[in-house]
Amino acid sequence: MSTPPATPSHLPPVLRPEHPPVRSLADLADRFGTDVRGDVRGVSLSGVTLATADLRPGEAFVAIRGLNRHGAEFATAAAEKGAVAVVTDEDGARIAADAGLPIVVVDDPRGRLGALSAWVYGTGAGDALPLLFGTTGTNGKTSVSHLLEGILTQLGVVTGLSSTAERHIAGQVIVSRLTTPEASEFHALLALMRERGVEAVAVEVSAQALSRHRVDGLVFDVAGFTNLSHDHLDDYADMREYFEAKLPLFRPDRSRRAVISLDSASGAEVVARCEVPYVTVITPAIAADPGLDADWTVEIVDERPQGTEFTLTARDGRTLTTVVPVIGRHMAANAGLAVVMLLEGGYAWDDLVAALDGGRIEAFLPGRTQLVSGARGPAVYVDFGHSPDAFEKTLAAIRRVTPGRVLMLFGADGDRDATKRHDMGRTAVEGSDILVITDHHPRFEDPDTIRATLIEGARRARPDAEIHEYSPPERAIIEAIALVGDGDAILWAGPGHQDYRDIRGMRTPYSARELARRALRAAGWPVPDPHWPVPYPDDETPLSDPSRAWSD
């Protein structure tokens, strides 16, 4: 028997509705099954899950094939934890035969998981649900999601959120596991939000979520598209395949309306292939083709360390001027997209004007160009950006509000898209005065090799540039602060809101924000208290749960 360990205590919980509906296993088999093994009569279930570590008594265990193992290998462990049935394919049914549970055989259980979960939790397209806002694109998904939630809160709406950084349920904050949770987790989360009176939900929808069926069974009231740039070629063969993976969000089975940014070249193609009613928005200051005609335009009014002021103008002449509380023209573009998505979702223009015009958007964007330094000394920004396009935009934003030099500090993910590393080095060195290369998540890759590739990309672009290499990042931030002074700025890109580093399968506790504050204090610079306490324990805990390995 393969017995997975319990979920490590540091991992965020998988959320369930407090009063889940009770469904008949026989009905499930009639709706979704192609065959049944064992007696399903009189058996009830209250939920579904892909992972035995998260299983609760009374739930069905959905066993799918992964890269290396079949989830059905854990069927006996699922039975011991109180599972009432196994839902799997023909191969899984053979493997799970000795677990002593009734088995419902389903063609393509991963592909059917969304529809099955929606039926179990009553969260399908025809059910009473909060308004759903889904945002996709390479960069800006998280920012748009948090901006949507912030504006909705200013409108007096009870909100939910699902992003790379966090899950929010009517004010409760939970750290995220995946950018977009598995379909079974997502539908359970949505059912819990409904129980707690959530009226609107902002969701970050990755390309992988669409490809891997994580948002199956959902229809978004409004879908938003931010941009497309080089990323995730570890998951997709090329940029065309990556682009195609995002398009299903703009079809009637996935969304009802769309708001499409024309800032990147791909925006026009999304428009051409969009199958639902849509409007467009453009930010000429950053657009690949600023001359494109759009329904809405975002004009930059002012940029300062406390935020970016912009005016949103409609084709019919309506205008709204407000401030997004982070630096960067791209952040104004994200905010403009969020406002238009809310309009398309049915919120009144006059209410948005009353909440925002002449004021600011009250939103916190975790790890997005987050200023962690004080009034004197170098300005230190910690950011989650990890693509060449994100580097370029964020460095340019910091340059415009920095009187002195700009230092860039970053590393790259191991065991992820290595094809972008030269471009990361090139973009970083072209946008900074001093470059410091360090480590990020090496995973099972040699960190020395990762750093060497980044430096090679930078040297090719600027052979005479000032480039330093320090490992580990705990040392790198100390050395970086020693290289700059009052009026200068440091952009530490990559870690953002994350509180760990992935080193050979171990989730090592780590906070770039706290490390930066410590280094500033040690150098004699004043540091404000963080907005929340940042734990920095000394122990190491396993990154992955073997019972989930086959479902990721």
Average pLDDT over residues 211-223: 94
Q: Are residues 74 and 137 in the same domain?
A: no
Q: Is residue 3 part of a domain?
A: no
Model confidence at 4, pLDDT cuts 50, 70, 90, reads: very low
- 398 and 486 co-located in one domain: yes
Does residue 508 lie in a domain region?
A: yes
Last-in-domain residue among 356, 391, 421: 356
**Is residue 548 very low, low, confident or very high in pLDDT (cuts 50, 70, 90)?**
very low
Regarding beta strands 85-88 and 59-63, do their DSSP bridges make them parallel or antiparallel, or are they unpaired? Answer: parallel
pLDDT digits (tens, 9 = 90+) for 73-118: 999 999 999 999 999 999 999 999 999 999 999 999 999 999 999 9
Domain containing 173 — which CATH number? 3.40.1190.10
Q: Are residues 350 and 420 in the same domain?
A: no
Domain boundary among 49, 81, 116: 116
- Residue 552: pLDDT band by 50, 70, 90 thresholds? very low
Predicted pLDDT of residue 77: 97
Tokens of 205: 């929808």
Q: Do 448 and 509 share a structural domain?
A: yes
Q: DSSP E strands: which ranges in 108-205?
A: 131-136, 159-162, 166-169, 172-175, 200-204
Q: Is residue 81 part of a domain?
A: yes
In this structure, are 325 and 198 located in the same domain? Answer: yes
Q: Are strands 85-88 and 296-304 parallel, antiparallel or unpaired?
A: unpaired
pLDDT in tens, 426-476: 999 999 999 999 999 899 999 999 999 999 999 999 999 999 999 999 999
| Confidence at residue 174, expressed as pLDDT on a 0 to 100 scale | 82
Q: Is the peptide bond before 5 cis (omega within 30 degrees of 0)?
A: no
- Looking at the fold, whether 406 and 341 belong to one and the same domain comes out as no
How far is Cα 159 from Cα 31, in angstroms, rounded to an integer? Answer: 33
pLDDT at 511 over 60: yes
Amino acid at 261: S
Average pLDDT over residues 192-209: 95
Relative to beta strand 406-410, strand 506-509 is: unpaired
Q: Do 205 and 95 share a domain, yes or no?
A: no
pTM over 0.75: yes
The pLDDT value given to residue 549: 28
**Looking at residues 322-347, what average pLDDT do you find?**
96
Beta bridge partner(s), residue 49:
61
* Residue 10 lies inside a defined structural domain of this protein: no
Q: What is the CATH number of the domain that holds 47?
A: 3.40.1390.10
Asked whether residue 376 falls in the same domain as residue 343, the answer is no
Q: At what angle do helices 266-273 and 239-246 cross, to 10 degrees?
A: 50
Give per-residue pLDDT as tens, 45-77.
999 999 898 899 999 999 999 888 999 999 999
Is residue 227 domain-shared with residue 170, that is, in the same domain?
yes
Asked, for residue 484, whether it belongs to a domain, the answer is: yes
Name the amino acid, one letter, at 292.
L
Give how many domains the chain has, as a whole number: 3
Neighbours of 46 (CB within 10 A): 19
Q: Does pLDDT of 532 surpass 90?
A: no
Confidence check: pLDDT of 403 > 90: yes
Mean pLDDT of the chain: 90
Shared domain for 457 and 381, answered yes or no, is yes
**Residue 13 forms part of a structural domain:** no
Final residue of a structural domain among 93, 116, 139: 116
Amino acid at 12: P
Are 176 and 301 found together in one domain? Answer: yes
Binned at pLDDT 50, 70 and 90, residue 494 comes out as confident
What does the alpha-carbon distance between residue 296 and residue 298 come to, in Å, rounded to a whole number? 7
User: Confidence class of residue 384 from pLDDT cuts 50, 70 and 90?
Assistant: confident
Say which CATH number the domain at 420 has: 3.90.190.20
pLDDT at residue 331 greater than cutoff 70: yes
Picking from 7-21, 363-377, 406-420, which range would have the lowest pLDDT averaged per residue?
7-21
Kindly give the pairing relationship between strand 319-324 and strand 307-314: antiparallel
Residue 335 domain boundaries: 131-356
In a domain, residue 49? The reply is yes
Asked if residue 53 belongs to a domain, the reply is yes
Do residues 243 and 96 both lie within one domain?
A: no
| Mean per-residue pLDDT, 488-511 | 87
